[in-house]
Amino acid sequence: MKITTIFLSMLCSIGAMAQLFNTDDSKIGLNGYSPVSYLDLALAQQGSKEYMSEYKGVKYFFTSAEQKKSFDATPGKYLPQYGGWCATGIAVGAKFRTDPNKFLVKDGKYYVYLNSIEVDALQVWNEKGHSEMVKNANENWKKLKSK
């Protein structure tokens, strides 16, 4: 089964998620993982409620006061690509939840990915090629971010 078919079939089972940021009702971004750790350290680190900031209605947790300060100074720099939705999903035209431990840091940005029993979306991204996938995702994001 082609990966695109798997993603599209998953979309049917999940349903369309009409929101810009990948959060549930708690409005906690990145499942509580620190956006600063992803970008500055290339690590997936669980943040702490003790160090929390809110940006555009989404709560982000950090591992330290220093990380919180960095985020507060330039929050846009630390936001995940595509609202924290699976980058591969966006590249094929759909929004999927992510595994916070599946991510890629490249060119001063970071991307998060779905990882399930059926598909490792980071592996698919790498197989298809970063430049091509970013091109597709950027084009699709223009439409998907408002849905």
In a domain, residue 119? The reply is: yes
Count: domains in the chain? 1
Here the tokens at position 16 are: 């369309």
Is 15 part of a structural domain of the chain? no
What DSSP string runs through 29-77? GGGGB-HHIIIII----B-EEEEEEEETTEEEEESSHHHHHHHHH-HHH
Average pLDDT per block of 10 residues along the chain, 147 residues long: 50 49 88 97 98 96 98 97 96 95 97 95 97 97 87
28: in domain: yes
Alpha-carbon distances, residue 34 vs 44, 48, 60, 81 (angstroms):
7, 9, 7, 14
- What does pTM read for this prediction? 0.85
Looking at residue 8, its pLDDT comes to 47
The Cα-based distances of 68 to 26, 55, 96, 127 in angstroms read: 19, 12, 27, 35
Q: Could you tell me if residue 14 is inside a domain?
A: no
Does residue 12 sit within a domain?
Answer: no
Compute the distance between CA of residue 137 and CA of residue 88 in angstroms, rounded to an integer: 7
Q: Which domain holds residue 70?
A: 3-7+21-144
The total number of residues shown for the chain amounts to: 147
Take residue 70 and report the two structure tokens written for it.
């960095």
Q: Is residue 13 part of a domain?
A: no
CA geometry: angle 88, 96, 112, nearest 5 deg: 55
